[in-house]
Structure 1
Amino acid sequence: MSETQDIRVVLLNGQDDLKIETRALAEPGAGEVRVAILAGGICGSDLHYWLEGGIGTIRVREPIILGHEAAGRIAAIGPSVEGLKVGQLVAVNPSHPCGECEFCRNGLPRHCTHMRFKGSAMYLPHEQGMFRDQLVIGAGQCFPMPEEISPGAAACSEPLAVCLHAANRGEAVSGSLKGKTVLVTGAGPIGALCIAVARQRGAAEIIVTDIQDATLDVALRMGADHAVNTARTPEGLARWQEGKGKVDLVFECSAAAAAIRDAVSVLRPLGTLVQVGVAGPTPMPLNVMVGKEIVFVGSQRFDVEFAEAARLIGTGAIDPRPMITGTYPITEALAAFRAASDRSSSVKVQLSFAAS
């Protein structure tokens, strides 16, 4: 095998400028492996980079390979790597904290001040992502998956890790989800997986809200008991708003002001609002939140939850496949991004790389 080879990559050169290009790929060094990517999920951040050229103050300032949700097979192993073998299916963790900053030393690597997160334009040079035929990456970022698991399901480990962390943050202040009434606002991929986590952890009743029927249908397949289209049925949450509220915990996954108002309106006094969705400055009903003594909890990415996500998908305890609404070959990446941006019909859209 030659020292380098050409691979295809999904490259964003700037706002609304997505191309398939080729790049050279070196062989893995010490502690590294080369992964043949099979499936990669398009995330909301990928869409923001493509549609808007950035996310908030983070701007795309140089060409960047997108993608941070991926799974594939080990294609080559570098020196000093143990526990992995060629041909093995793995879920790939995009997160690589430095291990040395104040936050890493204090057990908070998700807040690492030198975080290298695949497909992120936060720093310059940008951290190149995983939408490519093959990827060289640290062996410690690869989590073996059972052979019977589809690459598409394995690639959902990253968004599931986000939801597991959100659940852990919520349970840290309000106790176990078992037996609780839970509302999920926003039925996109993160909302769908928060539903799956709440169901897996024993929630007694799960309500989901959105403004699209297609996403709500998927949410029901992911484990929700009740789906409310708040655009078509504004009074749809009335039964959970009675008294001072009937809901114990909310996973707010939309960052929409209207959804946050709904969340606060149904939460009982001392209920917990876990904010998972992000946006710019957003109005919040602070008077009601204070009056009800609502506990507000922010949730940022994940730490050890990636390993747990891979395990739950690998054992079948959580099946993310109902939310995968489209799969496109890398050659049709632009069509895939367009489909992913259409929330009236899509939840999770993925790219496939093998023989495409």
Structure 2
Amino acid sequence: MAVAYGGICGSDLHYWKEGRIGESVLRSPMVLGHEVVGIVAEPAANGSGPALGSRVAVHPARVCGACGLCRRGAEHLCADLRYLGSAARIPHTDGGFAERLVLPARRLVPVPDALDMKTAALAEPASVALHGLDRVRELNRSVEGSDVLVIGSGPIGLLSVAMACALGAATITATDVFDHPLRLAVRIGATHVVRVDAEAPVPVPVPSADIAIESSGTPQGLATALRSLRSGGVLVNVGHLPPIGVTAPLHLVVPRELTLMGSSRFYHEMPAALEIMGRNIERFAPIVTSVFPLDDAESAFHEAAAAERSSKVLLSFPAAATS
């Protein structure tokens, strides 16, 4: 495929600034990027998959298909998972920030006709956001009609706001330490926003939520998520918490019968995420705040790191001109 656009993720920023994300440490040069869309330039020789010229989003995960997790449908937790642009294994898995990629046809997901390619570049993180809400639906709980709290309005948080709105949430409260993402949150569907202090508990009325999506990856956010939940509420932890120094009011879990769930990446959600985006472009398109050409990638990374003024920053590749 010919790559048209690639979104810069927080993990890309960690590799760029620190040479690592968690236990995944760069030990050799690696191409970044796992949020990419483009055009099929040469279809599969056996005729499977999208046809020549098709607009597609890339599913970044390669799984073994044989381990117990894969066999039970949890491929995103595969014991031998390889992810585009990841240093989790040696040799590292090169990412999608390249003009051309060669991929199995099964990892190319058609982009709906109604969806422009810049917005379609949100397919991967939008699938992450949808997976978080799908974790709630696994409990036979509905997002529709629920009061939802989203803590942290970075790209994943904003996409969670947009997805919750598209799925019929009654109210959506979004929090952040900056004004810019909160203005975006209102534009895409949040009914309430709260500006917070990075070092203090989040001042959200408690208990006020049926579902809390913790996407800040901070102990303060986790504590507020727990305090915000009504009895029987569900907390989905999407943000990556630090490995030490995390305290939280877990004493609330038993008397309120709270459910705590982790949410890691996604697997099956990308077609549904693209379909939802195609029906709700006005809620998703504003999350892309700037586009830089590939030859100005360094400026793009600096802009993506400026959370006070940017959300999702894209790199554009030559194929963007024809997509």
Asked whether the equivalents of residues 12 and 32 of structure 2 are also in contact (C-alpha less than 8 Å), the reply is yes
Among 218, 238, 241, which residue is 1:256 paired with? 218
Once the 2 structures are TM-superposed, how far is the Cα of residue 220 of structure 1 from its aligned partner? 1.1
Say if 2:39 and 2:319, in contact at 8 Å, map to a contact too.
Answer: no
Letter in 2 for 1:93: H
Aligned 8 A contact 1:181 1:248 in 2: yes
- Measured in 2, the distance between the counterparts of 1:235 and 1:114 equals 38
Distance 1:287 1:148, change over 3 A: closer
Structure 2 distance, partners of 1:78, 1:111, is 27
- Alignment correspondent of 2:165: 199
RMSD: 2.0
Output the amino acid matched with 2:274.
Answer: A
Confirm whether residue 52 of structure 1 aligns to residue 52 of structure 2: no
2:82 to 107, 116, 120: 116
Q: Which has the higher contact order (CA 8 A, sep 6+)?
A: 2
Larger Rg: 1
Aligned to 1:247: 209
Q: CA deviation at 1:174?
A: 6.0
Mind listing any 5+ residue stretches in structure 2 that lack a counterpart?
Answer: none
User: Match of 1:125, as an amino acid?
Assistant: P
User: Alignment partner of 2:41: what SS?
Assistant: strand
Cα deviation for residue 84 of structure 1 reads 1.8
Match of 2:231 among 269, 287, 290: 269
Report if the CA contact (8 A) 1:39-1:151 is conserved.
yes
Give the equivalent residue in structure 1 for 2:117. Answer: 151
CA distance in structure 1 between the aligned counterparts of 2:2 and 2:241, rounded to whole angstroms? 34
Identical amino acids, percent of aligned pairs: 38
Amino acid at match of 2:31: I
Q: For the structure 1 residues 99 and 355, does the alpha-carbon distance in structure 2 shift closer, same or farther, using more than 3 Å as the test?
A: closer
Q: Greater strand share, 1 or 2?
A: 1
Ranges in structure 1 where 5+ consecutive residues have no aligned partner: 1-34
When the two structures are superposed, what TM-score results if normalisation uses the length of structure 2? 0.93
Aligned residue runs from structure 1 range 171-320, under 5 A: 171-173=137-139, 175-231=141-197, 237=203, 240-241=205-206, 245-281=207-243, 282-316=246-280, 319-320=283-284
Matching residue of 2:29: 63
**Residue deviations 1:172-197, cap 9 Å, x none?**
22610111111000001110111111
2:40 alignment partner, SS class = strand
Aligned residue type for 1:116: R
Partners of 1:324 and 1:196 in 2: how far apart? Answer: 13
Q: Is the 1:71–1:154 Cα contact (8 Å) retained in structure 2?
A: yes
Residue identity opposite 1:258 in structure 2: Q
Return the TM-score normalized by structure 1.
0.85
